Structure 1
């Protein structure tokens, strides 16, 4: 009987000892769970995660200046350090030019002191008449090992450009039919000038209802294309074949399908 009790005690101790040895394996499995218990804390801080700093900035202004558009703004990316950021300019969705944001902008430094003052960009970019949209995009600087977040849009602005009409139009002529036109050219985009001559003629016609001759007026229109000029300023153009007729003249600047507002001399 004593031997039986002794064997039972040995077996019980062995089972308890085996259970104690198995406990660490069970704890290790718990540590693999998404939310491990506090006992699994390794006791040290994990390495910081590298992240991208978003580029910031603005497209402040878009102004048409004759065959070109003037753009300006600012851009900054903390990941670029002291190096200036690059900015791409698009017009109507078409890439036009890459600018460097390194011009002096004290107003930016006043609002964002850590950025510094040399974060501005500006340029004059060839552009056409009509209505167009200009957009600016910052070229993000991305740390190594970080996925590229894309290049953020800094803004878009639209402009509408029209041909500037001539001013101070006057005309003089002599008896042999040569007319001299003088005007101020206010446009740099014209490819030609459209001169319209409106001629007025009078003729007496018999009116059977009145039983007498009655004066009637007739108008004829003739359009002449004049050569463009370089730059702006006062111009003088000689046009033959005008004669001493009663007439009026209208002058417009032309560039492709665009035409300026017409100006006229009145009757001469």
Structure 2
């Protein structure tokens, strides 16, 4: 359930949570604090399970007394409201919210560098001269990353999240992956869902079905979600990617996100244009093709 992997790494496997905790401090070992934070995540999950119907209900975004909601659900609602979209339910921010809660707990305990990876939704807390790199994969489930983002304490990024085809949740789009940077993991999570949903344009080779036909317990009944994508023309892919980047640019211009990169098979686009850089393979460097 809670496994200590190293002095600065702890793994939590509990119900739907598969979370890697990493925390360091210049003046103390954070192993015990990470174990306690993992235990608290289990408590927060129990709290959320008691109000799961509310978490799956889009009407909870308009709940008149949000301060009465359990902490996890309150943070989820705040994150979805930040997107400005009212088609998402609080569940769009659930994984990122748990990453944030654990990360903030460890900062309170004295950590100077925290990285919490909850199934790909990552909370990042950097202080002082701390830095880190985040690898970006071209599709959900890809084993290797193709691009890298460099972050420091001055980056203003507190979370990185990815959505798209093949993820744990349904998507309305056809993006191979949509990765978003934001001030928190929960906002990145909800915005990644939103941007991935917008990576779409109608085409007979895209099969969509009502979400409730696939999962009677879904939080988005009545919404059509992508089931299968066949052979698409470059024009269709380009239009779908354009729609996703338009939504990303809207969120970016409002200051809701710090950036986004969207992959659709061989197509890729990002906001802003210098958000990340491609990984240079050794053989490319040897052949003189490593400049980019």
Q: Which has a greater percent of helix?
A: 2
Greater percentage in strand: 1
Based on CA coordinates, which of the two structures has the bigger radius of gyration? 1
Q: One fold, TM greater than 0.5?
A: no
TM-score by length of 2: 0.18
